[in-house]
A and B are shown apart, each in its own frame.
Chain A
């Protein structure tokens, strides 16, 4: 039976609870000042940050909490924080803390990119933190991290799936019409094995590294978006990003792999 009136015991428990709440709040308030994010413990991330103290608000990483297929994890990174009127996000770096090489990709954005939001698919070989660092044109830095749990592959489908022909079949989806200065999503995909250089082939020999290193988009010859890719990007790289053309433009998309081979796709962009 519950007593109707609070007993001395209850009062003591409430006091203890209040104390605990205060202690937790104090720790919670103290954390941002320390700003001990996982990016401080990763050399590759620290080299991007330099001595700067990143802002931990504004940059958003969207990844599944749990993924059954570490070979292809959907990732979206976007920025909705505050910047000076004449400033823009000019660079976003992605890192996977526990991959053999932590760099995933570096994106270079321009005012022609319009909106700092990029989606791709990445490889994560175990449960780990994924880190994003954004740098603005005027040097402001933002950082965020997200933990992803990787379990073994569900239905074990990839039993020697056919390797795609490198740099074949580039696909680009561009909106039929842009409004000037209004960012719209562009999606690109190209076949490529993105061979990591870490995997053994059927003959027991290490399959040499073979990846797309660079992807560029230009509008009328002016660079609008660039991506440096590393082996943690999934096979047949997929990229969603935004373009914000001011006038009718000739868009050129170019992929370059580490053998120097390239693939090109051109598209006419109309604005109205």
Chain B
């Protein structure tokens, strides 16, 4: 098997695990934030933070062992835009509340029979490619060019002058301590298993592209779990597959849908769902479009920046994640909250 086929198959496997775990556990940053802000139930949020800590420790262990050079990923940019990344995060976070879940969640829900998610995903993929290379791309590139910031360091260890493994241990330790400080969370295996499995898939992704995909002559771009550009790329792949090559991201997307479908069948949880009315549909479409545009501006989504980006300790990941949480707060608590039905 060639190294590119190996990457594609391992990506499909990673996607399958993500889809199955997401379907069974309801892993979702949006739900986690909404539950903790409105109901005071932090279990889902802790599940996400657990995934973040596991992804961080696992990825930094890979980096420390010399297997993967995480600074080659696109998160660790030395010249990011100080405006596009946090603003993109806010757009993404707000869009996520309108669409009732992020892009990865929509893939899992689609696999469980939720047809609303198909509309969200189509709008998301379309908007992502409009911003990436389509009609909105010149505007995005102009904006990024106007607001470029030359950073003295690409990542947190570089900025504070502490070795990466030590930064990861300290930060990971703090996150884990907070995660397990809740008895309700400790008593909820569904949530900590979900966080653990999905967290482990992030270093698995770095391993697939960085080690299995390593080839001097035809290098595979270093990547891990991320969903915005890959959802758009998947739409493009469906239409142009004879003229494009299957890569890591598209293969993960396909795997997530199939994994979620398999788990939904196994759990007898496959139910077709549709919109109740045009208001809900419009909100989902707007949410999908905001996630697509915001995700491209922020260089990643709640999973792409929140888990994969954070696992590299890139400074852009902190800015994007802060934007995503702020945007979600606007949509869940206010002042831009739309009444949930």
Interface residues of A (CB under 8 A from B): 63-66, 68, 74, 151-152, 154-157, 159-160, 171, 173, 187-189, 238, 240
Asked whether any CB of chain A lies closer than 8 Å to the CB of B229, the reply is yes
B340: A residues at CB distance < 8 A: none
Known: A65-B243, A66-B236, A238-B217. Contact between A155 and B141, CB under 8 A? Answer: no
B242: A residues at CB distance < 8 A: 65
CA distance A151 to B299 in the complex (A): 18
In residues 194-222 of chain B, which contact A (Cβ within 8 Å)? 216-218
Decide if A65 touches B244 in the complex (CB within 8 Å).
yes
13 A-B contact pairs sorted by A residue (CB < 8 Å):
A64-B245, A66-B236, A66-B244, A68-B133, A151-B132, A151-B134, A152-B141, A154-B133, A154-B229, A155-B299, A157-B74, A159-B77, A189-B216
Decide if B133 touches A151 in the complex (CB within 8 Å).
yes
CA distance A171 to B215 in the complex (A): 11
CA distance A152 to B213 in the complex (A): 25
Interface size class of B (residues with CB under 8 A): 20 to 34
Residue ID in chain B nearest A239 by CB atoms: B217
Decide if A173 touches B217 in the complex (CB within 8 Å).
yes
- In the complex, what's the smallest C-beta–C-beta distance from B196 to chain A, in angstroms? 29
B61: A residues at CB distance < 8 A: none
CB < 8 Å: which of B79, B132, B240, B245 contacts A159? B79
B216: A residues at CB distance < 8 A: 171, 173, 189
B74: A residues at CB distance < 8 A: 155, 157
CA distance A192 to B77 in the complex (A): 23
CA distance A45 to B144 in the complex (A): 40
Residue ID in chain B nearest A189 by CB atoms: B217
- In the complex, what's the smallest C-beta–C-beta distance from A155 to chain B, in angstroms? 5
CA distance A238 to B218 in the complex (A): 8
Residue ID in chain B nearest A173 by CB atoms: B217
CA distance A188 to B218 in the complex (A): 10
Known: A159-B77, A159-B79. Contact between A187 and B217, CB under 8 A? Answer: yes
Decide if A156 touches B144 in the complex (CB within 8 Å).
yes
CA distance A255 to B246 in the complex (A): 33
Decide if A155 touches B217 in the complex (CB within 8 Å).
no
CA distance A58 to B240 in the complex (A): 24
- In the complex, what's the smallest C-beta–C-beta distance from B209 to chain A, in angstroms? 14
B78: A residues at CB distance < 8 A: 159
CA distance A160 to B245 in the complex (A): 27
CA distance A189 to B141 in the complex (A): 32
Interface residues of B (CB under 8 A from A): 74, 77-79, 132-134, 137-138, 141, 144, 216-218, 229, 236, 240, 242-245, 299
Residue ID in chain B nearest A65 by CB atoms: B243
Residue ID in chain A nearest B141 by CB atoms: A152
B79: A residues at CB distance < 8 A: 159-160
A152: B residues at CB distance < 8 A: 132-133, 137-138, 141
Q: Which 10 A-B pairs have the closest CB atoms?
A: A65-B243, A151-B133, A155-B74, A187-B217, A159-B79, A152-B137, A189-B217, A65-B240, A171-B216, A152-B133
Known: A173-B217, A187-B217. Contact between A155 and B240, CB under 8 A? Answer: no
Residue ID in chain A nearest B138 by CB atoms: A152
A74: B residues at CB distance < 8 A: 218, 245
Residue ID in chain B nearest A119 by CB atoms: B218
CA distance A159 to B236 in the complex (A): 26
Decide if B141 touches A156 in the complex (CB within 8 Å).
yes
A66: B residues at CB distance < 8 A: 236, 240, 243-244
- In the complex, what's the smallest C-beta–C-beta distance from A246 to chain B, in angstroms? 26
- In the complex, what's the smallest C-beta–C-beta distance from A23 to chain B, in angstroms? 28
- In the complex, what's the smallest C-beta–C-beta distance from B84 to chain A, in angstroms? 10
- In the complex, what's the smallest C-beta–C-beta distance from A57 to chain B, in angstroms? 19
B244: A residues at CB distance < 8 A: 64-66
CA distance A240 to B132 in the complex (A): 31
CA distance A160 to B78 in the complex (A): 10
Residue ID in chain B nearest A157 by CB atoms: B74
A187: B residues at CB distance < 8 A: 217
CA distance A175 to B216 in the complex (A): 15
B243: A residues at CB distance < 8 A: 63-66
B137: A residues at CB distance < 8 A: 151-152
Residue ID in chain A nearest B217 by CB atoms: A187
Residue ID in chain A nearest B75 by CB atoms: A155
Residue ID in chain A nearest B300 by CB atoms: A155
B77: A residues at CB distance < 8 A: 159
- In the complex, what's the smallest C-beta–C-beta distance from B154 to chain A, in angstroms? 11
Q: A151-B137, A173-B216 are in contact. List 9 more A-B contacts (CB 8 A).
A: A64-B245, A151-B134, A154-B132, A154-B229, A155-B229, A156-B141, A156-B144, A159-B79, A240-B217
